[in-house]
Amino acid sequence: MRKLCFYAFVLSLFSYLSSCKVSEGWEPVISDPEPQGLAIADSVQLFKVTPSAATVADRLQFSANHNDMQVTGYYAAPNSTITVNVHVINGTTAARLAIGTPFRDNIRPVRQYFNLTSGQQTFTVDEYGGLVYLIYTANNYTTTGEIEISFDQGFIPVPFFQKGKTTHQQWIKTLDSLKNNVPDVVFSSDRTVLVANMDEALLFKNEDQQLIVNRLDSIINFSNYISGLGGTNGLHAIPDNKHLITVRDSASGGYMAAGISIYYTEGLSYRMLQPKYLSNTNGWGIWHEVGHTYQQKGWTWGELTETTVNVYSLASERGFGLPISRITANNLWPKLSNYFLKPLSERNYNSGDNDLKLIMFYQLQLAFGDNLYIQLSRINREERPNVSIDEDKMRYFMLTTCKITQKDLSDFFRKWGLKVNESVYTEIANLQLPIPAQDLTSLRD
């Protein structure tokens, strides 16, 4: 069963990726570095308006916002003076500079922001300093605008690896040249911005940086795929803004996704800066955190925050071709067997641990393939269900899943102990759908 599902996944994903294009017009235009020069950003860059994080989250019906800051490739030192020159090419949207990386600079209360106007401006950086980003957003998809920014006095270039542009030798040369100038380095791919500290970048400088950014993009593309996202226009277009993934001090745990960015701690840098760890079982942490940025509010009720996230983690697992699922690898199936030893009246799905609860979603994938979650995600965006309490979200998930699969899944849901008002099961019965030919709770990989 696992092999069949994997082959189907690969075929579907290949078709998806073949038709998928990188979003155009949503990132700064940065010229190619000189073949023998340093891997740094240009001093003059073009930026276009992007939809705000809240606008993207609303369109895609995500549970939370994510990043809408654009990377510049520069660092501003603490207590320094910086000078920029802004030329408005078109549009009236105001832009801001943001100093400081979320989570990376966790000692500071908030990032520092500077409002930009046309012409030359000079600002004083606070006592923290940090990487420099641009916020140039609109709360819609119709507003356009373009500005040219000259990063003049006070801006310090950081090692800046750009997918498809920077060479490995350039990267090593840049690290060696700038290692005493700045604390951080930046990787920019089609879908992500990765911030790492200089010490770790130096430690792993002999790795394949192009493969790192390729695999980061693959992780995002696997989540886009299972979410039914593709292309650059319309309701189901791929998210417009890049995922921001940043290092944080080791005292902060492991990985986390919260609001504006995803972080990993310094002790996990080896997993982010060695490509082999992004695509094997050690990649689960970053797969999981990326998954949090894709969870939809329509079918993620309160007890599922750490459950539905792994629909996306499992998509990355299959996409990278791991031979067995995490559920099998971690010997989680006995949890299901023990749970089903309980009488039906004593089973309560929402009271189970996250590993157990994930098995229900995995069995549905084994039964109906990726299309179930692709369609569920698309329908959620189209219908925009007005569900705010957990029981309404459970009802929406149960009914929508039955409609997509064209099966009466009441027996499956009852065996799993989904405790909802009996009227939900009546609604399912009223759909007059056939029951599955096999007991779906018996599925294993």
Dump pLDDT digits (tens) for 325-336. Answer: 999 999 999 999
* Residue 146, phi then psi, degrees to nearest 5: -150, 135
Q: Poorest-confidence range of 26-35, 239-248, 314-323, 331-340?
A: 26-35
List of residues 6+ apart from 165 with CB closer than 8 A: 32, 33
Q: Is the pLDDT of residue 27 over 50?
A: no
Q: Is the pLDDT of residue 301 over 80?
A: yes
What are the pLDDT digits (tens) for 79-114?
999 999 999 999 999 999 999 999 987 778 889 999
Distance CA 75, CA 59 (A): 33
Q: Is the pLDDT of residue 120 over 60?
A: yes
Tell me the pairing of strands 130-135 and 96-99: antiparallel
Half-sphere exposure of 410 (CA within 13 A, CB side): 16
Q: Residue 16: its pLDDT value, please?
A: 59
Average pLDDT over all residues of the chain: 92
Distance CA 195, CA 51 (A): 22
Q: Is the pLDDT of residue 11 over 60?
A: no
Q: Residue 427: its pLDDT value, please?
A: 98
Which residue is listed with tokens 């599925």? Answer: 443
From residue 236, give the alpha-carbon distance in Å to each of 14, 99, 142, 370.
Answer: 18, 32, 16, 16
Residue 130: closest CA among 76, 61, 193, 92: 76
Q: Residue 260: its pLDDT value, please?
A: 86
Which residue is listed with tokens 């090419």? Answer: 89
Q: Is the pLDDT of residue 29 over 60?
A: no
Q: Poorest-confidence range of 10-19, 128-137, 195-204?
A: 10-19
Q: Are 29 and 266 in contact (CB under 8 A)?
A: no
Token pair of 169, please?
A: 């030798």
| Amino acid identity, position 212 | I
Q: Are 127 and 80 in contact (CB under 8 A)?
A: no
Q: How many helices (H) and strands (E) does the chain have?
A: 16, 17
3-state SS, residue 255: strand
Kindly state the DSSP code that residue 62 receives in the 8-state scheme: B
Distance CA 248, CA 153 (A): 28
Q: Residue 369: its pLDDT value, please?
A: 98
Residue 246: closest CA among 263, 266, 260: 263
Give mean pLDDT, residues 410-435. 98
Residue 333: closest CA among 427, 443, 248, 227: 443
Q: Are 162 and 242 in contact (CB under 8 A)?
A: no
> Please, what is the Cα angle at 289 between 288 and 294, to 5 degrees?
90
Q: Residue 110: its pLDDT value, please?
A: 85
Question: Following DSSP, what letter does each residue of 166-221 receive, concatenated?
Answer: --HHHHHHHHHHHTTT-SEEEEE-SSEEEEEEHHHHHHTTTS-HHHHHHHHHHHHH
Give mean pLDDT, residues 160-189. 98
Q: Residue 24: its pLDDT value, please?
A: 31
What are the pLDDT digits (tens) for 338-373?
999 999 999 999 999 999 999 999 999 999 999 999
Give mean pLDDT, residues 375-402. 98
Q: Is the pLDDT of residue 230 over 70?
A: yes
Which of the four pLDDT bands, split at 50, 70 and 90, describes residue 7? very low
Share above pLDDT 90 across residues of the chain, in percent, rounded to a whole number = 87
Which of the four pLDDT bands, split at 50, 70 and 90, describes residue 21? very low
What are the pLDDT digits (tens) for 241-273?
999 999 998 877 789 987 789 999 999 999 999
Q: Residue 252: its pLDDT value, please?
A: 75
Give mean pLDDT, residues 199-212. 98
Q: What's the pTM?
A: 0.92
Helix axes 2-19, 209-226, angle to 10 degrees: 100
Q: Residue 28: its pLDDT value, please?
A: 43
Question: Following DSSP, what letter does each residue of 242-275 receive, concatenated?
Answer: PEEEEEE-GGG-SEEEETTEEEEEGGGHHHHSSH
What are the pLDDT digits (tens) for 41-76?
999 999 999 999 999 999 999 999 999 999 999 999
